[in-house]
Amino acid sequence: MLGLNGPTLPRRTRVTALLATGAALTATLLGTFSGPANATPTVAAAAPDISVANVKGHLNQLQSIATANGGNRAHGRAGYKASIDYVKAKLDAAGYTTSIQQFTSSGATGYNLVADWPGGDANHVIFAGSHLDSVSAGPGINDNGSGSAAILETALTVAREGYKPDKHLRFAWWGAEELGLVGSKSYVNSLPGTERAKIDAYLNFDMIGSPNPGYFVYDDDTQLEKVFKDFFAAKNISTEIETEGDGRSDHASFKNAGVRVGGLFTGASSRKTAAQATKWGGTAGQAFDRCYHSSCDTTANINETALDNNSDAIAHAVWTLSAGATNPPGRTFENTADVAIPDAGSPVDSPIAVTGITGNAPSALQVGVDIKHTWRGDVSVDLVGPSGRAYRLKSASGNDSADNIVATYTVDASAETANGTWKLRVQDTAAQDTGYVDSWKLTF
């Protein structure tokens, strides 16, 4: 872009432009409320027990499918499509609305299976997913038959119970995760932004029955993490945050698109420490799953207790998050008006008027941001509360040359009254790149 003074200079010699004077530009359109207006708070009913016998029954079916198809259920192989057909048939019979999304990877057709439970607020989707493909080396019963079977049995339990959640429930089984999250990326990339914004939470379950298990909880989102940690605390099972997973399973596809994510994991090839063996049992110095990506990842490669606990944790999260009042994503206010950000100019504000919420804002207010801007290192972002106090979300960081800011920030806004006008204040602090606020939202 043109520099403020004279011709555009090469970036390496970029001169930080003098900040222009002038009042902050303010968008005229106030944000709109998209949550259930004045909904009567619904306390989450306790989730039913998930039958681990039924979950293992699905694993036996996936094992048989692999055995009958060259020993695996890998992308592009007959065993994968047979796995999709098995899961789909169960869901269709239970009353789900299912769809198959095709994609191509490594010259072969891949398949995602998406299943929607009819009903619930379509503007608030609670989404649970697992990849269904194995590596070509083996049947992939723990990786990831375990997650796939657990969410399948959870979905079937929803149907069996005739559960009517406040929020809309969606489940998915992804293809070609082992090739690089290909199926889930294909799904997210094909999802319109308006549909993506309706996903309050995406929960990922990839390897949840490891034979030498740990209990790891994803820590990408504090409130979703808490839902799982509270469940395990009530069962006196200690947990650790999942540290090796960033980007290593399908939740990354959603997180990179600004969706709040959570999930569970029992470990792969890393070795269990002595301290972990003391609190969880099992064998110190041995991998959580010695058959990771191997032919021995069969139905014998499952710890039933871990599979059972994690299956019940999934149900707990689905029931808890899909209830109106106790659902951390609760009420969302959004402004989708584009606001231009002047190059190396004054800060601009995009306002949201919040109404109908009593008391103060939460200590973990979720601020979802979608800013289109080349060389995002030019840009600083603040949340300004109704009191006028600014909360720094992102500082300008000159060398960050990547484009766009799509993220969810957690802010302790408990000093602010919830009702009032909140503002997203954005400033471009350096010349040559420009952009605009595409949308942003507050979730109480």
Q: Which residues bind Zn ion (CB under 5 A)?
A: 143-144, 206
Host H or E run for residue 422 = strand 420-428
> What 3-state class would DSSP assign to 56?
helix
The binder of ligand DTR chosen from 108, 222, 240, 248 (CB under 6 A):
248
Q: Residue 140: name the closest of 175, 186, 106, 188 by CA.
A: 175
Q: Could you give the string, one character per residue 191-220, with x where binding to ligand DTR holds by CB under 6 A and - elsewhere?
A: ---------------xx-------------
Which stretch in 58-66, 98-106, 165-173, 238-246 sits in contact with ligand DTR by CB under 6 A? 238-246
Given the complex with ligand DTR, which of 298 and 327 has the nearer CB atom? Answer: 298
Strands of the sheet with 261-265, listed across from one edge: 97-105, 108-117, 167-174, 121-131, 199-205, 261-265, 216-217, 240-241
Euclidean distance between CA atoms 444 and 435, whole angstroms: 28
422 binds ligand DTR (CB under 6 A): no
> What 3-state class would DSSP assign to 189?
helix
> Shortest gap between Cβ of 439 and Zn ion (angstroms)?
32
The binder of 413, among Zn ion, ligand DTR, none, by C-beta within 5 to 8 A per type, is none
- DSSP per residue, 2-18: --SSSSPPPGGGPPPPP
Host H or E run for residue 183 = helix 182-190
Size of interface with ligand DTR, in residues (CB under 6 A): 13
The binder of 223, among Zn ion, ligand DTR, none, by C-beta within 5 to 8 A per type, is none
DSSP for residue 143? I
First-last CA distance in the chain: 38
DSSP for residue 232? H
Given the complex with Zn ion, which of 144 and 276 has the nearer CB atom? Answer: 144
Which stretch in 111-119, 240-248, 301-309, 351-359 sits in contact with ligand DTR by CB under 6 A? 240-248
The binder of 242, among ligand DTR, Zn ion, none, by C-beta within 5 to 8 A per type, is ligand DTR
The binder of ligand DTR chosen from 244, 355, 395, 398 (CB under 6 A):
244
Quickly tell me which residue has 């048939």 as its tokens. 89
Cis peptide before 142 (omega within 30 of 0): no
> Shortest gap between Cβ of 177 and Zn ion (angstroms)?
6
Q: Residue 58: name the closest of 25, 105, 91 by CA.
A: 91
Euclidean distance between CA atoms 132 and 84, whole angstroms: 8
> What 3-state class would DSSP assign to 182?
helix
Active site residues: 177
The binder of ligand DTR chosen from 116, 143, 153, 289 (CB under 6 A):
143
Q: HSE on the CB side for 235, CA within 13 Å?
A: 17
Given the complex with ligand DTR, which of 76 and 385 has the nearer CB atom? Answer: 76
Q: Residue 383: name the closest of 306, 326, 443, 316 by CA.
A: 443
> Shortest gap between Cβ of 171 and ligand DTR (angstroms)?
18
> Shortest gap between Cβ of 105 and ligand DTR (angstroms)?
15
Given the complex with ligand DTR, which of 265 and 422 has the nearer CB atom? Answer: 265
Which stretch in 8-16, 239-247, 278-286, 347-355 sits in contact with ligand DTR by CB under 6 A? 239-247
Euclidean distance between CA atoms 239 and 322, whole angstroms: 23
Given the complex with ligand DTR, which of 182 and 337 has the nearer CB atom? Answer: 182
Residue 102, classified by CB atoms within 10 Å of its CB into exposed (0-12), middle (13-18) or buried (19+), is exposed
> Shortest gap between Cβ of 414 and ligand DTR (angstroms)?
32
Given the complex with ligand DTR, which of 273 and 397 has the nearer CB atom? Answer: 273
Which stretch in 10-18, 244-252, 316-324, 364-372 sits in contact with ligand DTR by CB under 6 A? 244-252
Contact yes or no for 175/83 (Cβ under 8 A): no
> Shortest gap between Cβ of 184 and ligand DTR (angstroms)?
11
Q: Residue 169: name the closest of 201, 224, 125 by CA.
A: 125
Tell me phi and psi for residue 14, to 5 degrees.
-55, 135
Which residue's beta carbon is nearest to the bound ligand DTR?
245
Given the complex with ligand DTR, which of 225 and 242 has the nearer CB atom? Answer: 242
Q: Could you give the string, one character per residue 249-288, with x where binding to ligand DTR holds by CB under 6 A and - elsewhere?
A: x---------------x--x--------------------
The binder of ligand DTR chosen from 175, 183, 245, 328 (CB under 6 A):
245
* Residues contributing to the site for ligand DTR (CB under 6 A): 143-144, 177-178, 206-207, 242, 244-245, 248-249, 265, 268
